[in-house]
Chain A
Amino acid sequence: MILAMLNEAWVAIWANRLRTILTMLGMVIGVGAVILMLAVGQGAQQQVQASIASMGSNLFIILSGSTTSGGLRMGSGATPTLTVSDAQALEELPTLAAVAPSSPGVAQLVYGPNNWSTSVYGTTPSYLQVRDWGVASGSAFTDTDVRSATRVALLGQTVAHNLFGDEDPVNKTIRIKNSPYVVLGVLSAKGQSLDGRDQDDTVLVPVTTAQRKLFGTQFVGSVRFIMAQAISAEAMPKAEKGIAELLRQRHRIREGANDDFTVRNLTAMANTAAETAQVMSLMLGAIASISLLVGGIGIMNIMLVSVTERTREIGIRMAIGARGKDILLQFLLEAIIISVIGCLIGVLFGVGGALLASKITEMSVVITASSIFMAFAVAATVGIFFGWYPARKASQLRPIDALRYQ
């Protein structure tokens, strides 16, 4: 029965090919747009989320402050006001889970015939905790290494690859600014940061080693910045206040005077970025859905025309024994066939378009089964919803009126 009705519906669709294709186009564009937009939106969202995850969670970055010398205002970090002992003092705050001072610089690395210039961070083992960074092979340096300023290094993936190729770097000796350093381990891959930098193009050494042996410092123990991790997202406002109070006290800043440091809440910035991406993704989806709605209205329009045009046919069918529900089913099936085929083509266009977009613009796109399934479900629903009214109208015609219709 349903097979026969499907065939009847198909015959009617086939008889009006051009009209059907044009009607379908509405669905194709709607579904294609929804899938493409969801893919682009989710791609952007995923990229942001990956960057956030690679940064570490509940993060503060404390930069040494600006200074004014002879009327010239220097930028943030110009004055070395933060020290390793500031970092040690911050560790005592109950709202902070880990604190890592950091003394960055750029140096040339040499291993055998290879050499590579990269940023070298002098820091403490806490840095790995703060950044939520694991060691892929070998081991991290310890507090003992920091205390005795040993010449050891942890290599980022990019650095390891550029210096060693396929060779295992662990326990090999490299030269940084011509001094020998033992590679204790290789960090796990982190990928791009939010601003697009390669986070794996880096080397970690003990902060004391960096200060005393590699770069030297203007003042003993001074660091460029300190990274701190709060114990939880809820503790972040309290932690921010705690950091500021403690540092003002340690730096003997009078009431009313400006801070000589800046505390930045990285996670808040990241969350904003994530929310923006999500809102954008939703917006794209919503705009695309409108075209799906328009497609649905197109189906309803054409089905209404079809019912009017075929009133006589409906009358004939009723005269030879079609019940109202048979007529309803036939017209509903037509609407559903149009929308489902339109949807299938739309899925192809959407997926194809998304892949093409990612290829051309190197934008990351995410095509999930759920977004395809959703587009499909919506299309079928649109077909049923917008096909229902014309089909019902057809099924409720009185046989004699339908038969007499000219």
Chain B
Amino acid sequence: MVDAVITIENLYKDYVTEAGTVPVLKDVSITVEPGEFVAIMGPSGSGKSTFMNILGCLDVSTGGRYLLKGSDVNSLDRDELALLRNQVIGFVFQGFNLLPRANLEDNVALPLIYRGVKRSERLAKSNELLAKVGLGKYAKSRPNQISGGQQQRVAIARALVNQPQLLLADEPTGNLDTRTSKEIMALFSHLNKSEGITVVLITHEPDIAMHANRLVRLADGKIVYDGLVQHASAEHLEPTS
């Protein structure tokens, strides 16, 4: 049996504010197997972004257990978490989050710097990935010289540069028009199907969620639906904003 990519048991997350402790995630448990394509939906304030940040080792939970590829995330220190983010996880953000001053090949190669890869190898790899997402000829351009859809492709190339098992996408199409969104989602589907990369993404739109196999619906910090997208009721696929 292959280890699950994500195993979460009884996860809690509280935020401490001046008004007191606010529970955001309450007793969340989920297992994601290799090769799955999971869409997470939920209204604002349902805790889906917090959940994503914890999945991505950017934030830590208040209680419960989180095993990422078998290692207990809560027991790792900052440097070990950074290593996980670098080698196991690839991130795609709504706002692309490219470095504006660096050209595209340097942006894509950035994660490799923190692995100590030589410059020539870094550039070879980043050019390979830029070509893969169809932006090979823009290697020397800067992020502000290309369109939003293209920027998101660059961000995906960057997320893939270390060959991660897990791709996390926080509303990757949130800033894109419908046509571009489709292209981006086709890319995610392709990566999931032909390369076997596990994908977890957050979305508001049912159309986007339909690209996934599995739907997880969060409401008020709890999982209210977890199953195949095809079996989800209209209520669970309801668009959120």
Contact = CB atoms under 8 A, between A and B. Distances in A.
Interface of A: 1, 3-5, 8, 11-12, 15, 312-313, 315-326, 398-400, 403
Contacts of B111: 320-321
B91 A4 contact: no
Given A1-B113, A1-B116, A4-B119, A320 B101 contact: no
A400 B101 contact: no
B151 interface: no
Interface in B71-127: 78-79, 82-83, 85-87, 91, 93, 97-99, 101-102, 110-111, 113-116, 119, 122
Main SS of chain A's interface residues?
helix
A320 B114 contact: yes
B59 interface: yes
B85 A319 contact: yes
B58 A321 contact: no
The 4 A-B residue pairs with the shortest CB-CB distance in the complex, in nearest-first order: A321-B86, A323-B82, A320-B111, A400-B59
B118 to A, nearest CB: 9
Nearest to A315: B97
B214 interface: no
A15 B79 CA distance: 29
Contacts of B122: 4
Contacts of B99: 313, 316
A87 B219 CA distance: 113
B79 A325 contact: yes
A322 B114 contact: yes
A109 to B, nearest CB: 78
Contact of B115 (A12, A321, A403): A321
Given A319-B91, A323-B82, A400-B53, A8 B59 contact: no
A5 B158 CA distance: 18
**Interface size band for B:** 20 to 34
Contact of B58 (A4, A313, A319): A319
A326 B101 contact: no
B114 A326 contact: yes
A107 B79 CA distance: 89
Interface of B: 53, 56, 58-59, 78-79, 82-83, 85-87, 91, 93, 97-99, 101-102, 110-111, 113-116, 119, 122, 158-159, 162
A318 B116 contact: no
Given A1-B113, A1-B116, A323 B101 contact: no
B110 A317 contact: yes
A402 to B, nearest CB: 9
B116 A321 contact: no
Given A319-B85, A320-B159, 7 more contacts: A320-B110, A321-B85, A321-B162, A323-B82, A323-B83, A326-B114, A399-B59
Contacts of B58: 318-319, 399-400, 403
B126 to A, nearest CB: 13
B79 A324 contact: yes
A315 B58 CA distance: 9
A186 B101 CA distance: 74
B79 A4 contact: no
A320 B158 contact: yes
B112 to A, nearest CB: 9
A322 B82 contact: yes
B22 to A, nearest CB: 16
Contacts of A1: 113, 116
A8 to B, nearest CB: 7
A313 B116 CA distance: 20
A250 to B, nearest CB: 89
Given A316-B99, A317-B110, A322-B114, A3 B119 contact: yes
Contacts of A316: 97-99
A325 B114 CA distance: 10
A315 B78 CA distance: 14
A13 to B, nearest CB: 11
Nearest to A11: B101
26 contacts: A1-B116, A3-B119, A4-B122, A5-B113, A8-B113, A12-B101, A15-B101, A312-B97, A313-B99, A316-B97, A316-B99, A319-B85, A320-B91, A320-B158, A321-B86, A321-B111, A321-B115, A321-B162, A322-B82, A322-B86, A322-B114, A323-B83, A399-B58, A399-B85, A400-B58, A400-B59
Given A15-B101, A313-B99, A323-B78, A318 B119 contact: no
Contacts of A398: 59
